[in-house]
Chains A and B, each alone.
Chain A
């Protein structure tokens, strides 16, 4: 099983001829992901890494049977790319691009919702089901198949935590980077039910940060509706208020969205929270 993606997932790359798109297509292919084609408007008919390039997403989906698309196009063109993906029959859209105007993200989210297409990101590393399918930019080698699900708002911080898990012999079912923007297509609360239902997942690690109330909303959901255990981590205890800490969504707006307040709330809902990255794996082991 696994969550959202597996060895059968057929992936299209939007922006496949760009620098990042081309590089990560090669990385995904090397990992074993079934990348079936790419899209760059105006470059249809070309080939890259042995894959066909199409002018539009619907055309590419018709020709390849792709069910998932991943976007690497620059922020300026990301809205058009997301809306074009919404015109096709894909089931899952992953947007890696950072710095997309928030109202562009919101409009795309509204349209994708109407079409029933799940959206991951933007401003995220993507998602991976170790040993089966990697969609995004994360280093594949640190992951190993197993039973721990990971959902995170961050990129490199997730790599740290995944590496700790792998080093401790704790493999992962699926790891999803949901993105660091204020508006994202899938929040913790949207994905937790999928991990709860996934027979390959025994426990979930939720990696949050300052800004917003998503972690708290998720923790309440966990306490009311989930049987599987969730372990938390919240970055930004030392973040000053009112400052945007790199991620567009990582800003302490009031007293409720500080890391300390979130850690308190998570613990209040019965979720063990790791204070240091190295504490995550031991907490997972304890809970299992």
Chain B
């Protein structure tokens, strides 16, 4: 789960990572009022879940009070990569003597937690990793040492970020606190870009990016509250609450599949035969007929859907349960679009028998089902 910069900075503050003061505003007048306490010059930063805010005009320094409201208003009116800006963070502009990059993350490649550093701050780190890999610093950590990262472990890394001993010690403090935040809140990424030195020789996090592990949210109800409902598709959240994994797409062929990999392969097959999937939907591993009903309801909310392709390979999921869910759905709601079904695996005979006498279009293989669905749903 993504959280906004201002929320991440709230967590930084709670864990003692130095940040610049600041607050968020949803309107131009709120922004203007904040400047009274924050002073000038001030930076106005769009709070939106995409990278590249600066390039999109979402970050501006304002020197005069009369410019605050118009600037805030303009940024609050922006839509950056399809996401509308609903809040801006205001924070005093600081003098930057030096800037570096620092993050801690779960690295799939090395299967471990690593600090990543780069003495060039404010950069696109992925880009630097490709063009100048020798500039990227790495420090692998054991999960068990994150709660109390040893200073002597962090120091050599920090010294490569900052040649100055005093600055390196400050960076070590920050790394220890980042590691604690990382493990205590179950993060996937904590990134400071840039981490700066101001004119008082203080090391400060000027930006904050934080990704939380969705799998761990159950033990952090306080973090679940940070979810930006404006940035979420309500249908996707509803589907999630019912135990479905659902993602809306652009096409006309609604999909209902068991298993994430098969759901992706089903979408790919539809596309191969000239159709466009309207969604990704994994009904999951259990075989509760209620989930099938919920899946129908979710798919049918999309007015573009012209046909539904159901592809079930029963393992834990039992075909008769799926069939019961389909019958219940047909009874509960008006399904005007044709349904193509491919149902095999555990209890397939029972499942197919239950569906006899319905209008469902059957298919023996995924390819056959995808072809039939694509024919009805038409190439867009």
Contact = CB atoms under 8 A, between A and B. Distances in A.
Q: Are these two chains actual partners, yes or no?
A: yes
A76 B218 contact: yes
**Most chain A CB within a 10 A radius of its CB, from B109, B188, B259:** B259
Nearest to B346: A139
B277 interface: yes
A282 B227 CA distance: 47
Interface string A16-54: 000010000000000000000000000000000000000
Interface residues of B, number: 51
A209 B260 CA distance: 10
A102 B345 contact: no
A99 B215 contact: yes
A99 B249 CA distance: 24
Contact of B280 (A100, A183, A246): A246
A266 interface: no
Contacts of A106: 106, 111-113, 143
Contacts of B365: 278
Interface in B307-356: 313-317, 345-346
Contacts of A246: 245, 259-261, 263-264, 280, 282
Given A275-B272, A277-B269, A159 B315 contact: yes
A248 interface: yes
Contact of B260 (A110, A154, A240): A154
A183 B108 contact: yes
A138 interface: yes
A213 to B, nearest CB: 6
B247 interface: yes
Interface stretch (A85-93, A168-176, A231-239): A231-239
Interface in A189-223: 207, 209-210, 212-214, 217
B179 to A, nearest CB: 12
A235 B265 contact: yes
B242 interface: no
B43 to A, nearest CB: 26
Interface in B273-314: 277, 280, 282, 285, 313-314
Contact of B213 (A103, A137, A275): A103
A107 B218 CA distance: 18
B360 to A, nearest CB: 20
Contacts of B345: 139, 142, 159
A101 interface: yes
B116 to A, nearest CB: 14
B367 to A, nearest CB: 6
B366 A247 contact: no
Contact of A157 (B188, B259, B346): B259
Interface in A228-275: 235-240, 243-250, 254, 259, 275
B258 A156 contact: yes
Contact of B106 (A156, A183, A236): A183
B54 to A, nearest CB: 19
Nearest to B50: A242
A183 B277 CA distance: 29
B285 to A, nearest CB: 7
A254 B109 CA distance: 14
A160 to B, nearest CB: 6
B267 interface: yes
A76 B216 CA distance: 9
A278 B366 CA distance: 9
B261 A158 contact: yes
Given A156-B313, A243-B247, A276-B367, A248 B264 contact: no
B269 A248 contact: no
Contacts of B55: none
Nearest to A257: B108
Contacts of B188: 102
B280 A239 contact: yes
A274 to B, nearest CB: 10
B24 interface: no
B180 interface: no
B38 interface: no
A277 B259 contact: no
A239 B271 CA distance: 11
B247 A238 contact: no
A236 B261 CA distance: 8
23 contacts: A20-B316, A76-B218, A103-B113, A106-B112, A110-B112, A110-B143, A110-B144, A139-B345, A139-B346, A156-B317, A159-B262, A160-B366, A163-B313, A182-B106, A213-B109, A235-B268, A237-B267, A237-B271, A238-B264, A239-B280, A245-B264, A248-B215, A277-B366
Interface of A: 20, 75-76, 98-104, 106-107, 109-110, 125, 137-139, 142, 152-160, 163, 180, 182-183, 187, 207, 209-210, 212-214, 217, 235-240, 243-250, 254, 259, 275-278
Given A76-B218, A154-B260, A250-B260, 14 more contacts: A110-B144, A137-B316, A155-B259, A155-B285, A182-B106, A212-B108, A235-B268, A236-B268, A237-B268, A238-B249, A245-B260, A246-B264, A259-B268, A278-B365
Q: Top 10 closest A-B pairs, CB basis? A: A154-B261, A246-B260, A156-B259, A157-B261, A101-B216, A156-B262, A235-B264, A107-B143, A246-B245, A246-B282
Interface of B: 106, 108-109, 111-113, 126, 142-144, 183, 186, 188, 213-216, 218-219, 245, 247, 249, 257-265, 267-272, 277, 280, 282, 285, 313-317, 345-346, 365-367
